[in-house]
Chains A and B, each alone.
Chain A
Amino acid sequence: MRIAEPSVAAVPPVEKQDLLKVLACGAVDDGKSTLLGRLMADAGLVPEDQMEAVAAASGEGGFDYALLLDGLSAEREQGITIDVAYRYFATARRSFIVVDAPGHEQFTRNMATGASACDVAVLLVDGRKGLLPQTRRHAAIAALMGIRDIVLAVNKMDLVGHDEQVFRAIVDAFRSHADSLGLVVHPIPVSAALGENVVHPAAAMPWYAGPPLLSLLETLAPVRPSRGSLRFPVQRVCRPNLDFRGYQGTVAGGRVRRGDTVVALPGGQPSRITRIVTFDGDLEEAGVGEAVTLVLDREIEAGRGTVFACPENPPAAVDHLVARLVWLSDMPLATGRELLMRLGNDLVPCRITALRNRLDIVRLVEDPATMLETNDIGTASIATARPVVVERYDDNRSLGSFLLIDRLTNQTLAAGMVMEAVNAAANVYWQNFDTETADRPTARRQKPAILWLTGPSGAGKSTVANALERRLTAAGCHAYVLDGDNVRHGLNRDLGFSPPERAENVRRLAEVAHILADAGLIAIVAAIAPYARDRANARALARDVPFYEIFVDTPLDVCAARDPKGLYRRARQGLVENFTGVGSPYEPPEAPDLHLDGSSETPEQEADRILGLLVTKGHILAA
């Protein structure tokens, strides 16, 4: 077998040379950084000064190839790769971007991020340890993100006597897992430490007839850009003067040709492409990945977020979709909270309406689940505030992938892949009824509102609510108390006290309060609702109903001294988990609509002040 000697390209023109994006993954300690360092060093791609720096930093164990790669000092201290790092090199045959993914299980999210951009994966296995759960997990994530070719590099062959049987056993064990994932496996026995089958063939393993790693990577095919029909998501409108209006963006599917008729989605207004403008002159046509400016034959309603598409086969514009989510954040998934979805060039409010399952990526089975945490992968239903133009991830990655962003912290919560676009509005109609809130008999005496009493356990919320309801009823008004504890006996009895369950508890209370207000009542909610974000969500769910946050501010020591239900005592004995004020935080409202002092005011005085607020705001005439 003859192996072509790799060499630095003889000035390949930029753009023209074929590029392969390679994901390097595998469990920690399987030798990934060493393999990549060796690959680049043996291919003659590491500058001398870097080799010298690493030689100086290497300990007594000899030249440490891994030091060529690990970039951030936190990582060098811990001796592991935390973040995704990008390596660039070129041989005479092609250019490579190697996306170096971390091996630890707690960094699965970084691995998924790395995989999203890659054509092929190199999966490392330690020949002494064989397949680990993390090996299977990485193969599954690579497959989910759309990678088809996987190089199974069985490393440290020198430490298992270069034994063919060891290699075969690992490859056979991996094959059934790979088959169920639809992966094409390319197995190679290597020793990164000795440089065997990395760039040069290994004399010690004559039983392996295939190419070394670098030669193999020079021949694997990149993932084809989605061909399909035209998709052009508009990034921005270019209007330098009154005579020119161009739509700027990057072609995300198919080809655009001058003279083509396109439809603008959502909406579907048709128009014709009159020019494809670039700085270097007009084009007749442009394909996937090209950044161009389109000029149309007429004025239509289009802007950032609009997608121009081929009229015969347009993508769907829907307000409901089913997607696979990779949970990236430390903040767990909570259904019902309002989030932002970044999909294509669109940014739209959305909420996760239901979590369908969580994927066990080692066993490859979907288990029922109520929450997703960091690094989890699951399937969820999502509703958007207005229609978005989407496609299935398998059909078009640009219009089939998205981010979920928390509205308060701007954290990126999840990466999503569209499995199904559902036009919920087409299936579930909003039933309009003729009777409006303002027509109801209650409207003669009151304007509905939601009063949300928040404060720690024992602050006196229920007592104040009780006094308030009694006073309102006596005045001929219609009010109803939703007590957090009571609702947990029925509607919310499936919920515990973890942060996501508390969020769901608050969401349901807010929805019921909204229904009560819609029926014309003054809804009084007495619930701890310890997290500011959940209370903000409750306010958002009130929609057009006036919402008042009332802080029953009683110091914790007073609450604990009252301890009407004996809960503080039990929490301090460790008998109650996640108890607000003991094992779980209470975030006091920063700007409540009404601030009650629970340590100095009596419940009747507090009720008086709330009634005063209702009068001032025009909800009731007088109490």
Chain B
Amino acid sequence: MLEAEAIHILRETEAVFRRPVLLYSIGKDSSVLLHLARKAFYPGPIPFKVVHVDTTWKFREMIAFRDEQARALGLDLVVHTNEEGLAAGLSPVTHGAGLYTHAMKTVALRQVLDRLGADAAIGGARRDEEKSRAKERIFSVRAPGHRWDPKMQRPEPWGLANTQLVEGETMRVFPLSNWTEHDVWAYIRAEAIPVVPLYFARERPVVRRGDNLIMVNDDRLPLEPGEVPQMMRVRFRTLGCYPLTAAIRSDAETLDAVIAELHGTRRSERAGRLIDGERSESIEAKKMEGYF
């Protein structure tokens, strides 16, 4: 009943908030979320804006996929970039992942939510992704300034949510809370949901840095002395900004192969996210500042 539960949550969000938006990261979870939103409001259209925070460092395939989806589904798409960050030339390569992520993702998200006057933002985060997410509520209240206080979380007995907000407070809503990575892929297969081709193995140019395989997506990635991109069969298990998201070696070219590989793997999903590893609590710390 994961599908029905998510549909229920999406309908609830539309019914109780004045101006909800759907946060679209272009990844597989976002694709599932969009599909569920189409189902929830059918035969009506998706009744809210779809927001993408563009750091300008996303894989090119992701942006192409986003624009194609927006056209095909008739989405009311809002793309936002932190212009001050962009003008300052912030980059994950030269400024470090921490500062860059804060400015181009966390701050940018706060900017666009404020600009749209959004009182609720729907996201595709799942509790099985990471330890501090395991305690996230489905309806997660944020104090003015989008701050998350783990001690102020509202209990949700029987899945009943207290969605009352005072001025300045906002809500983050996570309809996929109870889904696992496996559920997401199985649903993508069952419903034939389109996803970015980067999730499937192909020959791609990569450089090896420590244990990580970084794809050379464009000429903004400075190569270190002696580094020569080499073609390797790789795919991505999770998608973010390209210099911060490591690929895995894989021959899985189809959905079935990806799912089969998932069952054989002994690495966790976010192991490919370089920003998470800085401190063990780092997602929690970022969430307190308003990170998704």
Residues in A lying within 8 Å of B, measured CB to CB: 8-15, 47-50, 53, 57, 69-74, 76, 83-88, 90, 97, 109-110, 112-113, 116-117, 235-236, 238-240, 244, 246, 248-250, 277-280, 289-291, 293, 304, 326, 328, 340, 342, 345, 397-398, 401-403, 405, 409-412, 415
Ordered by A's residue number, 25 sampled pairs between the chains whose C-beta atoms are within 8 Å are A12-B186, A47-B267, A49-B271, A70-B131, A72-B284, A76-B281, A85-B135, A86-B127, A86-B135, A86-B178, A112-B157, A249-B11, A278-B42, A289-B1, A289-B4, A291-B7, A291-B8, A293-B43, A342-B162, A401-B158, A405-B164, A410-B164, A410-B166, A412-B154, A415-B160
Chain B: minimal CB distance from A403 (Å): 5
- Surface stretch bound by A, among B83-91, B92-100, B257-265: B257-265
Query: Which residues of chain B are near A239, meaning CB under 8 Å?
Result: 44
Q: A47-B265, A84-B135, A117-B159 are in contact. Are A248 and B281 (CB under 8 A)?
A: no
B132 proximal to A (CB < 8 A): yes
Main secondary structure of the interface of B (DSSP, over half): helix
Q: Give a binary string over B113-154; 1 marks a CB under 8 Å from any A CB, 0 the rest.
A: 000000000000001100111110000000000000011011
B266 at the interface (CB under 8 A from A): yes
Q: Are B271 and A14 in contact, CB atoms less than 8 angstroms apart?
A: no
Pair B7/A415 contact, Cβ less than 8 Å: no
Q: A11 and B263: CB pair below 8 A?
A: yes
- What is the number of residues of chain B that contact chain A, defined by CB distance less than 8 Å? 62
A279 touches B38 (CB 8 A): yes
A47 x B271 contact (CB < 8 A):
yes
Using A113-B156, A402-B160 as known contacts, say yes or no to A85 and B134 having CB atoms under 8 A apart. Answer: yes
Q: A236-B14, A415-B157 are in contact. Are A410 and B165 (CB under 8 A)?
A: yes
Q: Chain A: interface secondary structure?
A: mixed
A50 to B41 Cα, complex, angstroms: 39
B68 to chain A, nearest CB (A): 21
Residues of the B chain whose Cβ atoms lie less than 8 Å from the Cβ of A280:
39
A239 to B161, CA, bound (A): 25
Please, which residues of chain B bring their CB within 8 A of the CB of A49? 267-268, 271
B-side interface residues toward A, CB under 8 Å? 1-5, 7-8, 11-12, 14-15, 38-45, 127-128, 131-135, 150-151, 153-162, 164-166, 169, 177-178, 180, 182-183, 186-187, 190, 259-260, 263, 265-268, 271, 280-281, 284-285
**In the assembled complex, which residues on chain B have CB atoms less than 8 Å from the CB atom of A401?**
157-158, 160
Apart from A49-B268, A74-B150, what 5 extra A-B contacts exist at CB < 8 Å? A15-B1, A47-B271, A69-B131, A293-B42, A412-B155
A81 — nearest CB in chain B belongs to which residue? B135
Given A47-B265, A110-B155, A236-B15, A71 contacting B43 (CB threshold 8 A): no
Q: Do the beta carbons of A277 and B157 come within 8 Å of each other?
A: no
Asked, given contacts A49-B271, A57-B280, A87-B134, whether A340 binds B42 with beta carbons under 8 Å apart, the answer is no
Q: Contact between B39 and A279 (Cβ–Cβ < 8 Å)?
A: yes
> Smallest CB-CB separation from B127: which chain A residue?
A86
Q: Across the interface, which residues of B come within 8 angstroms of A249, CB to CB?
A: 8, 11
**Interface core residue of B157, B160, B166, B260 (most chain A CB under 10 Å):** B157
**Chain B residues within 8 Å of A402, by CB:** 160
Cα-based distance from A440 to B7 in the complex (angstroms)? 58
Contact of A71 among B5, B134, B260, B263 (CB under 8 A): B134
Do the beta carbons of B187 and A250 come within 8 Å of each other?
Answer: no
Residues of chain B within 8 A of A109, CB atoms compared? 155
What residues on A are CB-neighbors of B284 within 8 Å?
A: 71-73
The minimal Cβ–Cβ distance linking B78 to chain A, given in whole angstroms, is 22
Instruction: State whether A113 touches B43 (Cβ < 8 A).
Output: no
Contact present for B134 and A278 (CB under 8 Å):
no
CA distance A446 to B175 in the complex (A): 58
CA distance A410 to B3 in the complex (A): 29
Contacts A47-B268, A71-B134; A291 near B40 (Cβ below 8 A) = yes
> Which of chain A's residues have a CB closer than 8 A to the CB of B260?
11
Give chain A residues whose Cβ lies under 8 Å from the Cβ of B7. Answer: 250, 291
Known pairs A83-B153, A405-B164; A244 contacts B43 (CB<8 A): yes
A76 CA / B182 CA spacing, docked (Å): 28
Q: B15, B161, B166, B267 — which one has the most chain A CB atoms within 10 A of its CB? A: B15
The answer on a CB contact under 8 Å between B162 and A410 is yes
Q: Which residue from A11, A71, A117 sits with its C-beta under 8 Å from B135?
A: A71
In the bound complex, CA of A279 to CA of B268 (Å): 34
Q: Which residues of B contact A112 (CB under 8 A)?
A: 157
Residues of B within 8 A of A10 (CB): 263
Given A15-B2, A113-B157, A289-B1; A279-B42 close (CB under 8 Å):
yes
Nearest CB on A from B285, distance (A)? 8
In this complex, which of A401, A410, A411 has the most chain B Cβ atoms within 10 angstroms of its Cβ?
Answer: A410
Establish whether residues B45 and A240, one from each chain, have CB atoms under 8 Å apart when the complex forms: yes
> Looking across the interface, which residue of chain B has its beta carbon closest to that of A12?
B186
In the complex, residue of chain A having the shortest beta-carbon distance to the beta carbon of B263:
A8
Are A48 and B155 closer than 8 Å at their CB atoms? no
- B162 and A412: CB pair below 8 A? yes
